[in-house]
Amino acid sequence: MLAIDYGTPGTVVVSGRLDAAQAAVAQAFLDKVEGTVTLDCSALEYISSAGLGVLLKTQKRLLASGGKLRLSGVSRHLQDIFGYSGFDQLFEIEPAR
């Protein structure tokens, strides 16, 4: 399952699995954010191409209005996925500690 909610100001916390069954839920939430937003991925266990599509759409929208989406707490596995997909060139990524 997926959980997504506001964290500290400027942060959205996503946890669980961002798969094809949950992508619409994530997109509906992120469609409401504005400005520069950090997506805390430290509890995000899994992402598929459907989830990548959500992130891409959100980044495009925020960049168009002068903001952006940053990704923090990114696990080694997710870093690999972001690397293979070229998302490490499209997003500011902070690895998990």
Q: Which of residues 5, 7, 10, 20 is near other proteins by CB under 8 A?
A: 20
Burial letters 16-40, b for 16+ CB under 10 A, else e: ebbbeebbeebbebbeebeeebbbb
| 96 is an interface residue for other proteins by CB under 8 A | no
Structure tokens at 69: 């989406």
Asked if 41 is part of the footprint of other proteins (rule: CB under 8 A), the reply reads no
Select the span of 5-13, 16-24, 31-39 touching other proteins (CB under 8 A): 16-24
Can residue 45 be called a binding residue for other proteins (CB under 8 A)?
yes
Counting contacts by CB under 8 A, is residue 34 touching other proteins? no
* Residues making contact with other proteins (CB under 8 A): 1, 17, 19-21, 45-46, 48-50, 52-53, 56-57, 59-60, 63, 77, 80-81, 84-86, 89-90
